[in-house]
Copies of this chain bind each other. A is one copy, B any other.
């Protein structure tokens, strides 16, 4: 459906209710599913994977935690911030046997913080004695930040 079939008039816009998107009125075929409660809409870069309103990028190369974080920031993302069990299950499963940096770090004399600045509330167990966190299909481990691992970036999908 292109714009020629999606015109709107001032008259029709007066029917819009609070919170509705204009496009829904003009282009029902295009928009009808977008706002249903059992669907999510994701806008992600190509090669990224979307799951539960988040875009994820799994690297094909390895870097230290700091350089991996810099790579993510170049895509306006951070190393992965994970705030639910389902997201963690997804991320561990796709990581497979490869260690992947996520966005959780313990700066000297500080608490554990996510790459978005939020404090980690210890909703999962961390093993290991390092200051940077990596994930594989089995474990979440705090290791030496200078290790060269794969990494996962994340950002909200819209």
Contacts and interface: CB of A to CB of B under 8 A. Distances in A.
Q: Interface residues of A toward B: which range? A: 35 or more
A90 B18 CA distance: 40
Interface in A3-33: 3-4, 6-10, 13, 16-23, 26-27, 30, 33
Contact of A34 (B26, B39, B43): B43
A19 to B, nearest CB: 5
A51 B49 contact: yes
A138 to B, nearest CB: 11
Indicate how many identical chains form the complex: 2
A156 B13 CA distance: 30
B137 A96 contact: yes
A2 interface: yes
Contacts of A124: none
B18 A3 contact: yes
